[in-house]
Amino acid sequence: MEPYHMNLNLKVWRQKNCKTKGEFKLYRVENISSEMSFLEMFDVLNEQLIRDGDDPITFDHDCREGICGACSMYINGKPHGPWQANTTCQLHMRAFNDGDTVVVEPWRADAFPVIKDLMVDRTAFDRIIQAGGFISVNTGNAVDGNSLPIAKDTADTSFAAAMCIGCGACVAACKNSSAMLFLSAKVSHLALLPQGGPERKSRVINMVAQMDKEGFGACTNTGACEATCPKEISLTNIARLNKEYLFASITAGR
């Protein structure tokens, strides 16, 4: 595809910190190349704002190759923007046309308070992992890696769940701000592997309790999370989580 240039109108959420009220502000960027990434377009805008003596827009970003999970923009009503299975940093300006108006907001969820502008606090996810998203094995205890064969299908399914990048798009997409897809990805990753067996019940019970404590909403199976997930984490993980939770609950204490 031949590169082209465009002028865009941006409607961006500005908020000084979590204690002040935010608002949309309008900006115009010109001569944007279709080969730029969405964040590079924001770089252009920020350079412009700094030169004009305005405050640049704060947003999270780091690896810019779709794997660290830092970037988190709600673009035209969809987390990470219009492309399927994609992160904001990998969204390229080819997705837009000259004259478009693009609306950019932060993730909206009680459990993800705004720090500034488009940057939110996602430490709730870390605390959910702290509640049980691990296998309790100290360094040095391990036996030979090949002493525990794992069927390829099982390993692949576990890997597909483990691909979650913890970006929070699932929460942002959900009308209930539920963290079930994130949580179920971790529970599935570990429950599918024999190594995760010994803590299988306590893990799911404790992680769900922590999720509730953090103020995430309940799951009503609308599937918006799966549709928006940049790593295409499957809804079947939520089914597995529910099964794990049910089994753990009814057999608690045994």
Partner 1 sequence: MLDAKIPAGALDDKWTDYKGHCKLVNPSNKRKLEVIVIGTGLAGASAAASLGELGYNVKAFCFQDSPRRAHSIAAQGGINAAKNYQNDGDSVFRLFYDTIKGGDYRARESNVHRLAEVSNHIIDQCVAQGVPFAREYGGLLSNRSFGGTQVQRTFYAAGQTGQQLLIGAYQALERQIALGNVKMYSRHEMLEIVKIDGKARGIIARDLVTGKLEKHFGHAVLLCSGGYGNVFYLSTNAMGSNVTAAWKAHKKGAAFANPCFTQIHPTCIPVSGDHQSKLTLMSESLRNDGRIWVPKKQGDNRKASEIPEEERDYYLERRYPAFGNLVPRDVASRAAKERCDEGYGVGTSKQAVYLDFAAAILRYGKIEAGKEGNDHASEDDIIKSGKEVVKEKYGNLFDMYEKITGENPYEVPMRIYPAVHYTMGGLWVDYELQTNVPGLYALGEANFSDHGANRLGASALMQGLADGYFVIPYTLGNSLADEIYAKAIETSHPAFEEAEKEVADRIHKLMNIKGTQTVESFHKRLGKIMWDKCGMARNEKALQQAITELQVLKKEFWSDVKIPGGIDEMNPELDKANRVADFIELGELMCIDALNRNESCGGHFREEYQTPDGEAMRDDEHFMYVSAWEYAGESNWNLHKEPLVYEVIKPTQRNYK
Q: If binding is defined by CB under 8 A, does position 30 make contact with partner 1? A: no
- CB nearer to partner 1: give 5 or 218: 5
167, amino acid identity: C
> What residues between 31 and 90 interact with partner 1 by CB under 8 A?
33, 35-37, 39-40, 43-44, 47, 49-51, 53-56, 58, 60-70, 83, 85-86, 90
Q: How far is the CB of 196 from partner 1 (least distance, A)?
A: 6
Site string for partner 1, 184-223 (x = CB under 8 A): -----xx--x-xx---------------------------
Q: How far is the CB of 154 from partner 1 (least distance, A)?
A: 8
Q: If binding is defined by CB under 8 A, does position 236 make contact with partner 1? A: no
Contact pick of 30, 155, 218, 249 for partner 1 (by CB under 8 A): 155
Long-range contacts of 234-242 (CB under 8 A, 24+ apart): 234/160, 234/161, 235/181, 237/161, 237/181, 237/184, 237/185, 237/187, 237/188, 238/180, 238/181, 238/184, 240/184, 240/187, 240/188, 240/191, 241/180, 241/183, 241/184, 241/187, 241/188, 241/204, 241/208
Token pair of 206, please? 């404790």
